[in-house]
Amino acid sequence: MLALQVLINGILLGGLYGLMALGMSLIWGVMNIVNIAHGALIMLGAYVTFWLFTLWGWDPFVSLPATIALLFVYGYCLQRFLLNLIVRAQLFLTLLITFGVEVVMVNLVRIFWSSDLRQVTPTYAGANFAVGAITIPYVRLWVFVTTAILSVLFLLVLEKTRLGRAIRATSEELRAARLTGIPVAHIYAVTFGLGAALAGAAGGLWGMLFPITPIMGGALTLKSFVVAVLGGLGTMMGAIVGGLVLGLAESFTATYLGPTYPNAISFGLLVLILILRPTGIVGRRA
């Protein structure tokens, strides 16, 4: 029975990990930018949800579209007016500049909103239901369902729409994309906007489960990175599979080995995957 509970816990949390990594994987795959500020975008999304909830009483699930829209605009501008300047530079430079963006964002948030722990607590925050001996918290279930809906929507946009095709074309063959008249600077900005929007959504959902602080992002960047690589870089399904694998690995490790080990096991898993299958679990073989 314990094992089943742990399995469900792992899947519910793993879905959110997947959503977190989706944005990072997209930006990485299309523009070859390892976005160190990804966690900071998640943090910003969490704060937007928190303020909408605290100031105007917006339910965190209802306010999610607003969070997504705001983060999209923010991400679009960030890429259009800053990152586009260096997008063709070496990887090292893009690493540095996104790191800089992260530092600036975190410290601005700290100055304006302080380092206090914040929490989004709708009335149903602690509610749960039981199936036999298994307890399932409503919020976690809804977070998982929302995550699934957002991921499917995003994959549809990427696969089925003109915009999605333009993004994929830019990613696969930059020169050909330019020749066919795709406005690359705009597509890059849209891509980053989408990545930021996904991060913002993940942040809004994360904030319903865990406390919000200015420095929460660092660990989440790392987690997104692990998930993205685990699943397979640049493949969108990879991020989701990677998230579930990480969620399950953490849950089972914490239960059967003890709560000190989840990180060791996650990173161990990462190393193992990189050795045995460098393209990730669902990544295409080069």
Partner 1 sequence: MGRRAMGQWSLVAVIALGLMARPALGADEIVLGSAISQTGKYAREGKFYVDAYTLTVDAINKAGGVKVGGKPYKLALKLYDDQSDPNLSVRLFTRLVTSDKVNFLLGPYSSGITIPASAVSEKYEVPMVQGGGASGKIFDRGYKYIFGTLPKAEFYFQAAIEAAAKFTPRVQTAALLYSNEAFDRSVADGARQWLKEQKIDKVYDEEYQPSTQDFTSVLAVLKSKSPDLVLVAGHEENALNFIRQAQAADMAPKMMVFTVGPPTADFRKTLGKAAEYVFGITPWLPDMDVGGEIFKSARDFAKQFQERFGYEADYHVASGAADVLVYKAAIEKAQSLDAKKVREALAAVDVETLYGRVKFEPTGQIAMGQVLVQVQEGKLVPVYAFGKMLAKPAYPAPKWSMRK
Stretch that binds partner 1, among 42-50, 73-81, 90-98, 204-212 (CB under 8 A): 204-212
Q: Is residue 258 part of the contact set for partner 1 (CB under 8 A)?
A: yes
Those residues whose C-beta lies under 8 Å from the C-beta of residue 110, and which sit 6 or more positions away, are 214, 215
Q: Nearest 5 degrees, angle CA 275-CA 261-CA 281? A: 30
Stretch that binds partner 1, among 25-33, 159-167, 185-193, 211-219 (CB under 8 A): 211-219
Q: Is residue 127 part of the contact set for partner 1 (CB under 8 A)?
A: yes
Q: Is residue 149 part of the contact set for partner 1 (CB under 8 A)?
A: no
One of 219, 267, 272, 274 touching partner 1 (CB under 8 A): 219
Q: Is residue 130 part of the contact set for partner 1 (CB under 8 A)?
A: yes
- Of 237-256, binders to partner 1 (CB under 8 A) are 250-252, 254-255
Q: How far is Cα 161 from Cα 163, in angstroms, rounded to an integer?
A: 5
Q: Is residue 185 part of the contact set for partner 1 (CB under 8 A)?
A: no
Q: Is residue 57 part of the contact set for partner 1 (CB under 8 A)?
A: no
Per-position DSSP letters for the chain, written without gaps between them:
-HHHHHHHHHHHHHHHHHHHHHHHHHHHHHH----TTHHHHHHHHHHHHHHHHHHH---TTTTHHHHHHHHHHHHHHHHHHTGGGTTTS-HHHHHHHHHHHHHHHHHHHHHHH-S--B----TTTT-EEEETTEEEEHHHHHHHHHHHHHHHHHHHHHHHSHHHHHHHHHHH-HHHHHHTT--HHHHHHHHHHHHHHHHHHHHHHHHHHS-B-TTTHHHHHHHHHHHHHHH-TT-HHHHHHHHHHHHHHHHHHHHHT-TT-HHHHHHHHHHHHHHH-TT-SSPPP-
Q: Is residue 235 part of the contact set for partner 1 (CB under 8 A)?
A: no
Instruction: Decide whether 132 or 259 has the Cβ nearer to partner 1.
Output: 259
Q: Is residue 262 part of the contact set for partner 1 (CB under 8 A)?
A: yes
Stretch that binds partner 1, among 92-100, 188-196, 206-214, 230-238 (CB under 8 A): 206-214
In 3D space, the residue among 266, 262, 255 whose CA is nearest the CA of residue 5 turns out to be: 255
Number of Cβ within 10 Å of residue 77's Cβ equals 14
The backbone torsions φ and ψ at residue 197, rounded to the nearest 5 degrees and listed phi first, read -65, -40
Q: Is residue 275 part of the contact set for partner 1 (CB under 8 A)?
A: no
One of 121, 156, 157, 173 touching partner 1 (CB under 8 A): 121
Q: How far is the CB of 160 from partner 1 (least distance, A)?
A: 34
Q: Is residue 213 part of the contact set for partner 1 (CB under 8 A)?
A: yes
Q: Is residue 278 part of the contact set for partner 1 (CB under 8 A)?
A: no
Would you give the binding string for partner 1 spanning residues 87-116, x where CB under 8 A is met?
Answer: --------------------x--x----xx
Q: Is residue 268 part of the contact set for partner 1 (CB under 8 A)?
A: no
Tokens 């199936």 correspond to: 131
Stretch that binds partner 1, among 24-32, 84-92, 203-211, 277-285 (CB under 8 A): 203-211
Q: Is residue 38 part of the contact set for partner 1 (CB under 8 A)?
A: no
Q: Where along the sequence are the contacts to partner 1 (CB under 8 A)?
A: 1-2, 5-6, 9-10, 13, 107, 110, 115-119, 121, 125-128, 130, 135, 137, 139-140, 209-211, 213, 215, 219, 250-252, 254-255, 258-260, 262-263
